[in-house]
């Protein structure tokens, strides 16, 4: 059984290309000088045009859950694992897996991105705790 794979669209393709290149890409609005994530065709604040930029990959855990029941057999060997809401240093928040011992996760913990290569086409951003 296979894991659920992302299906890039014209809007999200730069994000997935960035992951393959080892870069966490988010959007930036030159008009109101703010970052945004998830990808949108225009700035959600001012409707200005947005550019893709490389984020620092650093952030902080805002909230989290521990997944103890695999959604399918493809994930059976991974449980339990942590899924967290992460506020990036640039401001936007994203949901991702944090690779750590369950006992180590807490809100406010600092994290940084790394990239988990699943295939030639699919690279998934995940996070690790940093002290």
Binding site for Zn ion (CB under 5 A): 29, 31-32, 43, 45-46, 48
* Cβ-based nearer residue to Zn ion, 45 or 116: 45
- The two tokens of residue 118 are 């699943």
| DSSP bridge partners of 127 | 98, 113
| Minimum distance from residue 85 beta carbon to Zn ion (Å) | 23
| Minimum distance from residue 92 beta carbon to Zn ion (Å) | 13
* Cβ-based nearer residue to Zn ion, 26 or 111: 26
| Minimum distance from residue 30 beta carbon to Zn ion (Å) | 8
- Residue that has been written with the tokens 């650093």 in this structure: 58
| Minimum distance from residue 18 beta carbon to Zn ion (Å) | 21
Residues 6+ apart with CB under 8 A from 46: 29, 31, 32
**Spatial contact of 94 and 83, defined as CB atoms under 8 Å apart:** no
* Cβ-based nearer residue to Zn ion, 33 or 121: 33
* Cβ-based nearer residue to Zn ion, 22 or 48: 48
**Spatial contact of 73 and 50, defined as CB atoms under 8 Å apart:** no
């Amino acid at each position: 059984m296979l894991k659920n794979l992302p299906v890039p669209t014209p809007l999200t393709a730069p994000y997935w290309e960035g992951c393959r290149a080892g870069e966490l890409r988010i959007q930036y609005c030159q008009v109101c000088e703010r970052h945004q994530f998830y990808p949108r065709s225009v700035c959600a604040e001012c409707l200005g045009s947005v550019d893709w930029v490389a984020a620092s990959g650093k952030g902080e855990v805002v909230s989290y859950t521990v997944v103890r029941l695999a959604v399918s057999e493809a994930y059976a060997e991974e449980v339990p694992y942590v899924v967290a809401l992460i506020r990036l240093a640039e401001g936007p928040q994203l949901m991702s897996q944090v690779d750590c011992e369950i006992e180590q996760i807490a809100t406010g913990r600092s994290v940084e991105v790394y990239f988990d290569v699943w295939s030639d086409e699919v690279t998934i951003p995940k996070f690790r705790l940093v002290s």
